[in-house]
Amino acid sequence: MKRLILAISAFFFCFSRAEVKVEKVLETTSIKEYNQWVKKNRARYPGLRPIYITVDQIHKSVSENDMDEYKITYYNDDGRLNKQETIRGWFEMGIFNNGELLFIARREHKYYPINEVRYIKNKDGDILLNLSRIRSYTIKYWGQSFWIENNPYKGGPTNNSRIRIFDHKGNVIGEIKNAWLIDNVLPDTNEDYLFFAVEEKDEITEAVLFYDINNNKELWRKKFSSAINIAISSDGAYTAIGDSGKIYVFDKQGETVYTSQPFTSTGRNPSIIFSDDNQYLATVLGPKICFYNNKTGELLWQTKIDDPDPGEKFIYFFETNNALYIVVAYISNYIYILDTEGKVVKKFQLPFGYAWHYKKTASGDVIRDRKIAVSNWSSKFYDGLLIIKRDRTIIIYNIVPE
């Protein structure tokens, strides 16, 4: 595999003290290379994890009597091949726990559970937990000592719709009633609390609910009419909801800390994030970014980004050398770094290029419409590293204060 390490020459924006440099420190399609980079930099970036498991489809079923075939590869810390196996069937799979666990649901019929098995494999490819006896569909979240089921399919929602929480041995340790589909679930850092956005049994109302894991107790619940974006502070003291152009911030008891309507677009839901120390809250919807004092609810500033396609993709806080930054990415593949005064201190674009967007006409024909950025990538943020993944490509950017 071709190795590419590129350092980008930095653009300089002469705003206050808070300038940053963005360096591309790794771009690769090789897991060996990625894992060795992670290992080499472990002292500096202890939160960064190697890739242990990859899943590749090697055969796609051509009929209902045929089956899919996947190759599962397990790697060690050095990115060397640990084990490889080929599995056949109809599958639902997912990788959890920083890439260390693989969930596999396998059956021999497209729709029905003929010879169905469900299990969790660890990074050595050994079965850690057999879930076949648990009538749960898949896993939504894997925590340090528990996991949450995901069973959103039809038949439900019914009067008995509930979400269950299991320990790592597969015993039920908690149950949330009148909740069906989990839109989103976020823990605080210690995993004492879970903040859920769920569909209730009627599939029409949505709710957020705050759940105490240690006491297996739903502490409070609030209904919302539209789709919800949620956030939880690192210590669980605050929760936030972005709904229909508005933001709502609640404390642990579910009391309103403040609400605000910073966006005129009421049809859409802002993304929200708390700073690590709970001092600030940032929110984005389209080109507009807003920054709040989270203790008082005061809007400190708002700004509009001049972006060619300002559909927000993520918002993060990032802290280095005692300076706080806000990182916002758009589907244009532009990433903006702002300081706490709302100034863009850095703007750069991910190198994934453009593709045609198609449109259906009234006559049912499909025509080429316009070019849009290829933005089917995902991201993670660790210790000042922005890690971007798209298919096999991994790019690591280092954000360095200047």
Contact positions vs another protein (CB under 8 A): 60-61, 64, 90, 92-96, 103, 110-113, 116, 135-140, 149-156, 158, 181, 183, 199, 202-204, 226-227, 244, 267-269, 309, 311, 313, 331, 357-362, 364, 366, 369, 372, 375-376
- Closer to another protein by Cβ: residue 186 or 331: 331
CB of 121 to another protein, least distance (A): 13
CB of residue 95 vs another protein: minimum separation in angstroms? 7
Burial class (CB in 10 A: 0-12, 13-18, 19+), 289: buried
| E strands present in 60-137 | 68-75, 81-96, 101-107, 117-121, 127-130
Nearer to another protein, 9 or 361 (CB): 361
Burial of 17 (0-12, 13-18, 19+ CB in 10 A): exposed
With vertex at residue 391, the alpha carbon angle to CA 386 and CA 393, rounded to the nearest 5 degrees, is 50
Please give the single-letter amino acid code of residue 342.
G
Residue 32 or 389: the one with the smaller Cβ distance to another protein is 389
How far apart (Å, rounded) are the C-alpha atoms in residues 159 and 17?
57
Nearer to another protein, 12 or 153 (CB): 153
Closest CA to 297 of 275, 276, 277, 281: 281
Residue 286 backbone dihedrals phi, psi, to 5 degrees: 60, -140
Structure tokens at 369: 């419409």
Q: Which is nearer to another protein, 143 or 156 (CB)?
A: 156
CB of 217 to another protein, least distance (A): 23
Q: How far apart are CA 25 and CA 104, in angstroms?
A: 34
The DSSP 8-state label assigned to residue 383 in this structure reads: T
Question: Shortest distance, CB of residue 236 to another protein, whole angstroms?
Answer: 24
In the bound state with another protein, the residue whose beta carbon lies nearer, of 20 and 72, is 72
CB of 89 to another protein, least distance (A): 11
The distance of closest approach from Cβ of residue 78 to another protein in the complex, given in angstroms and rounded to an integer, is 26
Q: Closer to another protein by CB, 18 or 181: give it.
A: 181
Q: Which is nearer to another protein, 37 or 263 (CB)?
A: 263
CB of 152 to another protein, least distance (A): 5
CA distance 329 to 127: 38
Neighbour count for residue 253 (Cβ, 10 Å): 8
* Cβ–Cβ under 8 Å, residues 146 and 213: yes
Count other C-beta atoms under 10 Å from residue 112's C-beta: 10
Least distance to another protein, CB of residue 314, Å? 11
How many residues appear in the chain? Answer: 402
Nearest distance from residue 53's CB to another protein, in Å? Answer: 12
Quote the strand ranges of 256-298, DSSP E. 256-260, 271-274, 280-285, 288-293
Residue 26 or 101 with smaller CB distance to another protein: 101
Residue among 64 and 124 whose Cβ is closer to another protein: 64
CA pair distance 181, 227, nearest whole angstrom: 12
Minimum CB–partner distance for residue 13 and another protein (Å) = 27
Could you tell me if 117 and 132 are in contact, meaning their C-beta atoms sit under 8 angstroms apart? yes
Q: Give which of 211, 116, 212, 128 is closest to 170, Cα–Cα.
A: 128
